[in-house]
Chains A and B, each alone.
Chain A
Amino acid sequence: MADTEKSAKEATPSRLVHLKIRRQDAADKPDSKRWEEFKVPYLPNMNVISALQQVQKFPKTTDGKEVAPVCWEAVCLEEVCGACSMVINGRVRQACSALVDQLAPNGEPITIEPMSKFPVVRDLVVDRARMFNDLKRVKAWIDLDGTHELGPGPRESQEQQQERYPLSRCMTCGCCLEACPQVNDSSNFIGPAAINQVRLFNMHPSGAMHKNQRLDALMAEGGVADCGKAQNCVEVCPKEIPLVDSISVVARDTTKRLLFGWLLK
């Protein structure tokens, strides 16, 4: 991405970006949890990642202490990879699209914290393994053995594609889990992301063959019934996935399965 070195020199030295960052040295060192503050030169169109890159280059706190560089995750810088989720000024979002101009038009301090619903690895880095495990749990795939000489797949109506495509935009960033009040230490609610995957794959003509297995995975403890309908997920999803719709569709399908299953007995 754009190298900020040159523009840093040209920028007015008077304008600084003030960052207040929550740090922690390691998962097993909760005592090291602390706030550190940094001031870095402002650049036009700066986002939180470019501000954090400046901190990384010159990791010196506002009280003049040289510290280890702040750790964070970021990859694509265009809000499609899902890596850079953080809690910025109290709201979970992608740091690459969090513009300094909008967060702090008058140089207000910007607070940056790691997501709280995942174990902290270090500083702003968290471990999202549960999300990838949940993809396995709900079998978020099409069953297909061998990929050769299959010919064109089943046709799909434009209407269905336009319904499925937004669901497929999930980038496993974790924002919806972070915002969900039902995802917490005392519950094992699977969260909106995996439920949305169930809807996505159950809509696909081949995926539908394992529809019931996916629904069963969400009928166990921590499944779709644990949703408290707070609707925070849809508010924070950077890809504007209709997560609440997905939860209601899947909840309806599990209810049907429950009734149908009971009738069969």
Chain B
Amino acid sequence: MITETLHHDIVIVGAGVAGAWAAIEAYDAGIRNVAVVSKVHPLRSHSTAAQGGIAAPIGNVRVPPGGNAQTPLVPAATDGSADSPEKMVLDTIKSGDWLSDQDAVEILAFEAADTLFAYERMGTTFDRLPDGRIAQRRFAGHSAPRAAYAADRTGHALLITLYDQLLRRGITIYEEHYVVDLIWEDHTAAGLVVYNIADGTLRALASPTVVLATGGFAGIFAINSNALINTGDGPGLVYRSGLPLMDMEFVQFHPTGLYGHGVLISEACRAEGGYLRNAAGERFMVNYAPSAMELAPRDIVSRAEQAELDLGHGHGPDKQGLWLDLTHLGAHIIETRLPDIAEISRRLAGVDPLTQMVPIQPTAHYTMGGIPTDVNGQVLNERGEPALGLFAAGECACVSVHGANRLGANSLMEASVFGRRAGRSAARRASEIGIFAPSTTLFNQTLGAARERIQSRFYSDSKDGHHSAFALIAKLKNIMTTTCGILRNESSLAHGNAEMAALVNALPHIRVFDTSCIHNLELVRTFEAENMALVAEATLVSARARTESRGAHSRVDYPERSDKEWMKHLLVRRTPDGPAYTSRQVNIDLAKYPPIARKY
């Protein structure tokens, strides 16, 4: 294995929307030696799969007077008065069940328009109104039609726009490089160890600033809507470094995953007027959210679905299926506004949504928690102090905008706004530091240790007492889905915690059969298994500790939200004696945003 150290001013891990924005901003701030590391080609990043829209309160459309949730939208006045950032703040805090930090939410809402217009100027193919302005659609939980969109492939449209800008700037991209270690010098980030998947070489990247933008980790569940790459690599690296993860118990289950598959059927289907039905054909949402019906926020709809399934109202061999009915929308709406959804239904499920109902089930979709940061992307330790040199943005981070439950279309905007801010912060730090000369000994030692750790993974003798990464990951996902799903309780979580602890102990015994240094996916899965197991552990222990129900975290044994005890962020970190908890007050002006029960 060849090893070497390369130097950069800023290294960004992940090339999805958050990472690409960070790179663009850092470069535009004058830092030329920016590098992006990604374990896949940037265009394969999971941002590409985001479907329905990106939220910005520009008020280009409105519901006509006297209209309801199904009335076709009309263009609004060009002064933007149809919507406001203040409304977006309120919607986001309400949806987040009073666990969102107000300062972060305000930044999101007030910087959203500028960010959306930047995309527009860079050529994103947003849908348009007759007068040529950006079109917007309704999204569940938003009090105004706020989601800009490019048909139902908004994420893809945004990602290619940003990738093109990376190309234009000539930013260095280490594609198919996996980050195996963060390097710390005097509690300050000093770089990374990266493994080149293409040829098996190991390198150190020395950099005074590291930005983690590795995406979410809902891939730790058996039925999930995530890409194969969403394995919690960033949070795993941070957790291993002894730093805390925050609000890990909050995992969003999306109400419409394709039955038996998990792949996402966009919320845009419900926004465009789709119905949810149980096996008997009833629109069951009438019993759970009689006013908002299918357009209630995701956590509420998913819980309603789980309740229906638990009542035995599901279809399919395992009675875990429900129906998404689009048949009344007509061919025009389906083919023009939901073309890819029609395509997914036909190609992956063999169902024509024009005439048939689409089989669906709730699917693990988005992780609200992650690496705690301030509003500039600076990673924080358990005392709220900066972990110098380390930044994070996007789904791997927890800033916290989404609180206990993310509002649809807010994730693309959050990843964009805070990716930009993290890029600017990293640029500021890089220019302050100037010439960076970390200890060569430290780099050689870290590289040597990483090399030994990798070599010890290969079989030297028999397979006895050893595990395969593939089997361990399958087991891990099963534990998460059965013990830490939509509805949770003490006994399931206690069981899950014990099982996961055993699984974490088994990690050192994973062995790799494939000895090739070229594209060794089994070795990559082994790296990933470690991160998945650690974020799974953090999720389970956090879910068990939070004895209330709030947003996406639903405890059957503690069904009420307890503001007195739990209106706070929960941080968990690894210590030799097991998980250690701290908490942080939610940054919220309760006079301005008095907590109310969420009813839709």
Contact = CB atoms under 8 A, between A and B. Distances in A.
- Whether both chains belong to one complex is answered with yes
Nearest to A133: B167
B121 interface: yes
Interface of A: 1-3, 5-6, 25-27, 44-45, 47, 56-57, 59, 66, 68-69, 71, 73-83, 97, 99, 101, 121-123, 125, 128, 132, 135-136, 139-153, 155-158, 161, 164-165, 168-172, 201, 204, 206-207
B227 A77 contact: yes
A29 B471 CA distance: 30
A168 B114 contact: no
Nearest to A142: B123
Per DSSP, are chain A's interface residues mostly helix, strand or loop, or mixed?
loop
B118 A150 contact: yes
B interface residue count range (under 10 / 10 to 19 / 20 to 34 / 35 or more): 35 or more
B117 interface: yes
A142 B160 CA distance: 12
Interface string B186-227: 000000000000100000000000000000000000111011
Interface string B11-49: 000000000000011001000000000001101111011
Contacts of B516: 25-26, 68, 122
Contacts of A71: 518-521
B478 A5 contact: yes
Interface in B62-110: none
B121 A144 contact: yes
Nearest to A101: B350
A69 B522 contact: yes
Given A69-B522, A150-B118, A152-B117, A3 B477 contact: yes
Interface in B438-493: 468, 470-471, 474, 477-478, 481
Given A27-B518, A158-B128, A158-B132, 8 more contacts: A44-B260, A45-B350, A57-B468, A57-B470, A71-B521, A142-B122, A156-B132, A165-B125
Nearest to B198: A121
B150 A165 contact: yes
B339 to A, nearest CB: 9
B129 to A, nearest CB: 8
Contact of B168 (A56, A74, A83, A141): A141
Contacts, number: 195
B167 A75 contact: no
A122 B518 contact: yes
A81 B123 contact: no
B133 interface: yes
A147 B130 contact: no
Contacts of A121: 198, 518-519
A171 B49 CA distance: 11
Given A152-B133, A155-B133, A69 B521 contact: yes
Given A45-B348, A122-B519, A75 B263 contact: no
Contacts of B130: 158
Interface string B143-186: 00000001101011100100011011000000000000000000
B518 A140 contact: no
Contacts of A101: 350
Interface string B255-285: 0000011111000000000000000000000
A75 B40 contact: yes
Contacts of A76: 44, 46, 48-49, 227
Contacts of A132: 41, 167
Contacts of A44: 260
Given A140-B167, A161-B126, A204-B123, A69 B513 contact: yes
Contacts of B591: none
A165 B121 contact: no
Contacts of A147: 24-25, 28, 118, 121-122, 420
Contacts of B129: 158
Q: Pick the most buried of B40, B43, B133, B513: most chain A CB atoms within 10 A of its CB.
A: B43
B167 A99 contact: no
